[in-house]
Chains A and B, each alone.
Chain A
């Protein structure tokens, strides 16, 4: 026993050349080991308890699936990815505060989130100030990416792309008299205006356009005016609950003509509240369930979080996470992380997102890719991106749209 005790200090006091080499190597690598020992952090900031909670929760679930996939496969170069999440409650100020915390206190490498437009927009200046990549999800206000901020990228489609897709469908199906009805919030007015412009470009006249207050319990004046204009198709730009009221009032007034409702009808709430009044409605979506990879993703989603209708929201979270994780594995990012340079790593991630700009995710038709570039921080392209789905079974399900029957007079 004594011998052993006497021997060990001797080893420390007089290390052999071999031990000395090992110790020197360990000390030399401590810079990278300091980062390597910690998980790589990414922040998810979105509304998960306010009026747009549906979207934020679904996107976060999709985001978590992507992160779990990489962690289950051993992480990136052996390092696990750690998610720090914040609920911005549709509050722009709170959301901006959380984004700052991500950049400053949490040491996150990127921020993902932003479904409702106002809080999503509030994170853009934070991303620029802290030079941290920010992947925004479904916030559709066009001008958010018109003048690209250096670290800000949009993964979801913008409102004018929804509008163009709707106008293209309306023209292709042979409709000649379009009625637009929208709520008085920015989403409703912006989308209706963009669609009116797109329809004009397609040569399809808008015979009437009506706006309503989202808290009105009776929308008869607006629907009555729509009826008097004798349209052959109605396009609605609502939020969830008011959209249901529009559809129910249309049903009450016996207006069973073809209807298209903006992407808010992808949310369960609108369809549940509208019930059978929503059946037959067409909704623009960016998820093609004919694609095996999309189907596989929704199977994983169902296994982990329960059944979800095939909408863009979970896919947006998943695609954003996958793009970030792909960038994270790039040598330039790994080199910056090894040097313990957080700021350099963030810049390298931004550059990698641009370099890998033609990423093929789960949105769009098979073969369609994102189109990020130096001057283009809006990912979704104008073509082959939208897939229309139809509401069925008293609002419970979204199925492939039957365009053969979606015609004037049907």
Chain B
């Protein structure tokens, strides 16, 4: 019983990270039907900026967090104004824009390499890394913060999407940007918001996972892959489905690790995703979200 508790807690912690990256990817996809392959690089920028502001410049923690969020927002605006908009104006297909985001990810990694160098670096922790007992389970405040922030950001996203008129604009733009524009919605601003908000979420993820994973300029790729897996499994059009997909993937990973070997986790997860997509091609919760629209 204790073992299953440990496994579920680990699954929830890791799943919160995958879920937040999946949610970020899905947020952008939901506004413009483009998968942002640079999403993991926003997380990387969050991690590496934490080193810059907390270690190199010795800023107080909250000032550093503010500065990190400014960096990721700037990166999001550069991506949107420098890659997405120019390609859109020239009538590029979504696939071309995706390749554009991939190019931006590679360029961002190269620039980060010039700034921070190639080595894996230690990232200061915002919350304590000391052991914390939760009954028979053991964790630490930094890991609990990941789960808490995941829950908080899910709630915020839900409120924004379903309890505000701006959320209605976001969903309308996601369904059909041309009709949304004809109805007076500034679709370009909605898309910009998607980039900025998803970058903010990724920046927060970076601040939280940096002390646990360490910082390296090439770390964005694997996070993008995990987030993309989460979004595909859950349902690409919905941020909440993508978040749920992330948790599912991590729980399966933890179960395989806990009762078998992590060596087989990824083949099992991909088999599971494939099997689910055979029956539900839009992901587990894709239809549910489509109905909600």
Contacts and interface: CB of A to CB of B under 8 A. Distances in A.
Nearest to B3: A224
Interface string B111-126: 0010001111110000
Interface of B: 2-3, 6-7, 9-10, 13-14, 17, 113, 117-122, 129-131, 137-140, 143, 146, 209, 212-214, 216, 218, 222-223, 226, 253-254, 257-258, 261-263, 265-266
Interface string A216-227: 111111101100
Contact of B226 (A53, A54, A215, A222): A215
A210 B261 contact: yes
Contact of A221 (B122, B213, B257): B257
B3 A184 contact: no
Contact of A213 (B3, B216, B262): B262
Given A189-B263, A225-B258, A220 B9 contact: yes
B7 A241 contact: no
Interface residues of A, number: 36
A132 to B, nearest CB: 27
Given A211-B261, A220-B138, A245-B213, 8 more contacts: A184-B262, A184-B263, A211-B262, A218-B14, A220-B137, A225-B258, A241-B216, A273-B122
Contact of A217 (B143, B218, B262): B143
A253 B17 contact: no
B214 A240 contact: yes
Contacts, number: 112
* Chain B interface SS verdict (over half): helix
Interface string A188-215: 0100000000000000000000111101
Contacts of A254: 131
Nearest to A242: B213
A240 to B, nearest CB: 5
A378 interface: no
Nearest to A185: B263
Contacts of B266: 213
Contacts of A260: none
Contact of B213 (A212, A215, A220, A228): A215
Given A50-B118, A211-B262, A244-B214, A222 B131 contact: no
Given A49-B113, A211-B261, A218-B9, A273 B214 contact: yes
A219 B140 CA distance: 12
Contact of A252 (B2, B120, B121, B131): B131
B93 to A, nearest CB: 29
Interface string A276-294: 0000000000000000000
Nearest to A87: B118
B212 A245 contact: yes
Given A213-B253, A248-B129, A53 B119 contact: yes
A215 to B, nearest CB: 5
A48 interface: yes
Q: Which 3 A-B pairs have the closest CB atoms?
A: A53-B118, A241-B214, A49-B118
A211 B122 contact: no
A225 B3 contact: yes
B39 to A, nearest CB: 15
Interface in A226-258: 228, 240-241, 244-245, 248, 251-254
Interface string A42-53: 000000111101
